[in-house]
Structure 1
Amino acid sequence: MVPDILDTRDAASYVRLAVVTMERLRLTGDGPPFCKLGKAVRYRKADLDAWLASRLVQSTSSGA
């Protein structure tokens, strides 16, 4: 079972991306919403699911 709050490593694993990709998406603002708790970055599982759903496309010609 996946916990509701994930660190960057676990969030990257959950969405099948590299940690460095998650970090880059966070810096550019293109990634899922995240929380800062002191220096720690955390992602809510619901936000990761919503972010993935928002990136669904019907064909390669309609993709980003």
Structure 2
Amino acid sequence: MPNLKNSVVLPREVEADSNVDQSDFANGGEPSRLFNPDELLSRRAVEAEYGITVKQLERAAWTGDGPPMVKFGHRTVRYRRRDIIRYIAAHLVGKA
């Protein structure tokens, strides 16, 4: 199995490959938990799993260009995993 820690896998690609177990995509490729597209991730978790830095997320939130976020209170911000995946897919350039 290839290392998927820094890869972005869209849900329809997972469904298209019958040899892929959905649990292989949880936690950066470690099959320790099920893939949950509605899981809420902190900015640090997004940086660790997808490589989008905390600074980039903060700047994108400030300008309104970032992925949708959930805000709890004054400082706590979370992102749904599905929104991060869509944000990355929307910023693809050229053919992959």
Match of 1:24 in 2: 59
RMSD over aligned Cα atoms: 1.7
Name the one with the larger strand percent.
Answer: 1
- Is it true that 1:51 corresponds to 2:87 in the alignment? yes
User: What is the aligned counterpart of 2:69 among 10, 27, 34?
Assistant: 34
Aligned residues: 59
TM-score scaled by structure 1?
0.76
Name the one with the larger helix percent.
Answer: 1
From the CA coordinates, give the structure whose radius of gyration is larger: 2
Match of 1:62 in 2: none
Q: Which has the higher contact order (CA 8 A, sep 6+)?
A: 1
Following TM superposition, where does structure 1 have runs of at least 4 consecutive aligned residues deviating by more than 6 angstroms? none
Structure 1 residue ranges without an equivalent (≥5): 60-64
